[in-house]
Structure 1
């Protein structure tokens, strides 16, 4: 079983218009509202790729009901924890440029957080746990570390996609997989990273701490994957980016999907990169057929090979 956790869910309100003018009345050509949040997005992408998951998180109010109802309508199993505050709303403005306005995170009580923790006691050996997204300002940045401490002793694969202090706090817990972009990796080590080659020493340092897979994305310049055996490089397939929301989450879902299917690591990496591209090239989430087609355009090389 795969369980995803979204501490800061949202309704993502996408608004499309020809041109966005600050300080003027802007009229939308189209809009749509979807359940959002990184863990939720990963559950959606997993569903598209043929894998089931259970979505966990903290939701409340009429906005929280919308999130739960939409996911259940889409066939995604949910075991959310109810909170007293309303789930936030994020605005995604799609025009000549993409602009995002993220809503204020709700206040979370200790009792609500404890209820979420108890739900994770359902994890069993062989399961996968995905912790994804930002930590609400109302929670300590070490919350992911706290959740991982609770499941210590269980043979659970842990996939973490976060940044900053939240990512720093889980490193010593030896998660199975982390996916910082190159800016987040640089922040982790208080440095600057511009190229894949510059990232390699820091990837190796993370691997030395017991992390099995370190995937670092470089947007249009591809990605690198560090494992115990090798450092791999990947390009990204060509295509027109029409939607960046959920692309990184789809990389995580693609990696997890291919890994659970026991594909060779080079194919796991290519499938993950192709999953992110398939989402970026469409208005929705990656579809399996599109991912498999794009994966043929992703070329994996080992660092150091001639």
Structure 2
């Protein structure tokens, strides 16, 4: 069973406009409301692949109720903890440029944090927990470390997609997979994104593996991704198309990679499918359909860069 944890869920409101001007009424020509949050996106894509999973998170108010109801209608199990306040609503506007307005979300009290950690302790051994997304007000970064400790103690396979620097402190608890994007990888090692050549990414991935990560997947937007494990390093390209909304592309990549491995496909096949999913989502208003992924698979190129001897 796969569990996902979104600490700070959201409703994503996508709007399309011809242009966005100040001090006037800007009328949209289309709008779309979707339950969102990085790990919620993962749950949705896993469900599309036919993989049973449970979505966890802190939610509140009418917007939190909307998210839980939408997930249930998608046949996704939920284990949400309700807090006072209103789950955030983020706005993504596609006009002359792409605009992203992201809110803070509700304040989570200590008692609710404890409650969530207890829920995680109840996840059965050998299940997978994917933690992804930012933290709401009231939760400090060491929340991630506590989760990593619990998963290590309980033999829960942990997947982390977080931008916090405490990711490095979580590595000693041997997470199954981490997925920084290229900007996050550069930040972890106090580099500029311009310094991240393919060779540098491979070097940094190797460092992360030595620190305890079992697998590293670096998403690179239109450049695709680079995957590293003790056994292999693989580069995968992306597909070309008109970008509509990049907000969920990394989530689509991670979820489909996890999902295809869960379905016993090879790492290489999972990477190809995941890269197509990331591109298809970037070309969509929200998470893409499986048919859109399938249409892009032939555009994806894959290359093994290093074999096992690289880590000898």
TM-score (norm: length of structure 1): 0.94
> What residue number does 1:51 align with?
51
Preserved contact between residue 41 and residue 250 of structure 1 (Cα < 8 Å): yes
**Are residues 304 and 11 of structure 1, via their aligned partners in 2, closer, same or farther at CA, if it must alter by over 3 Å?**
closer
2:42 aligned with 1:69, yes or no?
A: no
Q: CA deviation at 1:58?
A: 0.3
> What residue number does 1:102 align with?
102
Provide the C-alpha distance between the structure 2 equivalents of 1:122 and 1:59, rounded to a whole number of angstroms.
20
> What residue number does 1:281 align with?
283
Provide the C-alpha distance between the structure 1 equivalents of 2:303 and 2:27, rounded to a whole number of angstroms.
47
> What residue number does 1:291 align with?
293
Preserved contact between residue 121 and residue 154 of structure 2 (Cα < 8 Å): no
Provide the C-alpha distance between the structure 1 equivalents of 2:96 and 2:294, rounded to a whole number of angstroms.
30
**Are residues 77 and 285 of structure 1, via their aligned partners in 2, closer, same or farther at CA, if it must alter by over 3 Å?**
same
> What residue number does 1:140 align with?
140
Preserved contact between residue 141 and residue 169 of structure 1 (Cα < 8 Å): no
Alignment of 1:56-205 (within 5 A): 56-192=56-192, 193-205=195-207
2:9 aligned with 1:5, yes or no?
A: no
Q: CA deviation at 1:182?
A: 1.1
> What is the aligned length?
305
Unaligned segments of structure 1, at least 5 residues = none
Q: CA deviation at 1:2?
A: 0.6
Q: CA deviation at 1:5?
A: 0.3
Preserved contact between residue 196 and residue 223 of structure 1 (Cα < 8 Å): no
Provide the C-alpha distance between the structure 2 equivalents of 1:289 and 1:31, rounded to a whole number of angstroms.
22
Provide the C-alpha distance between the structure 1 equivalents of 2:292 and 2:33, rounded to a whole number of angstroms.
24
2:265 aligned with 1:225, yes or no?
A: no
Provide the C-alpha distance between the structure 1 equivalents of 2:145 and 2:50, rounded to a whole number of angstroms.
30
Provide the C-alpha distance between the structure 2 equivalents of 1:179 and 1:282, rounded to a whole number of angstroms.
22
Q: CA deviation at 1:195?
A: 2.2
Q: Counterpart of 2:299 in 1: which secondary structure?
A: coil
Q: Counterpart of 1:80 in 2: which secondary structure?
A: strand
Q: Counterpart of 1:54 in 2: which secondary structure?
A: strand
**Are residues 89 and 284 of structure 1, via their aligned partners in 2, closer, same or farther at CA, if it must alter by over 3 Å?**
closer
Provide the C-alpha distance between the structure 2 equivalents of 1:112 and 1:284, rounded to a whole number of angstroms.
30
> What residue number does 2:15 align with?
15
> What residue number does 1:25 align with?
25
Provide the C-alpha distance between the structure 2 equivalents of 1:103 and 1:284, rounded to a whole number of angstroms.
18
Deviations 1:183-220 (A, max 9, x none): 11010011123322221111100011221211112211
> What residue number does 1:252 align with?
254
Preserved contact between residue 105 and residue 138 of structure 1 (Cα < 8 Å): no
**Are residues 178 and 33 of structure 1, via their aligned partners in 2, closer, same or farther at CA, if it must alter by over 3 Å?**
same
Q: CA deviation at 1:91?
A: 1.4
TM-score (norm: length of structure 2): 0.92
Preserved contact between residue 142 and residue 165 of structure 1 (Cα < 8 Å): no
Deviations 1:25-70 (A, max 9, x none): 2111122222111011111111122212100000011221111112
Preserved contact between residue 64 and residue 87 of structure 1 (Cα < 8 Å): yes
CA RMSD of aligned residues (A): 1.7
Provide the C-alpha distance between the structure 2 equivalents of 1:97 and 1:169, rounded to a whole number of angstroms.
37
Preserved contact between residue 49 and residue 286 of structure 1 (Cα < 8 Å): no
> What residue number does 1:265 align with?
267
Unaligned segments of structure 2, at least 5 residues = 308-312
**Are residues 286 and 15 of structure 1, via their aligned partners in 2, closer, same or farther at CA, if it must alter by over 3 Å?**
closer
Preserved contact between residue 231 and residue 303 of structure 1 (Cα < 8 Å): yes
Q: CA deviation at 1:304?
A: 5.1
Preserved contact between residue 144 and residue 169 of structure 1 (Cα < 8 Å): no
Q: Greater shift after overlay, 292-301 or 198-207?
A: 292-301
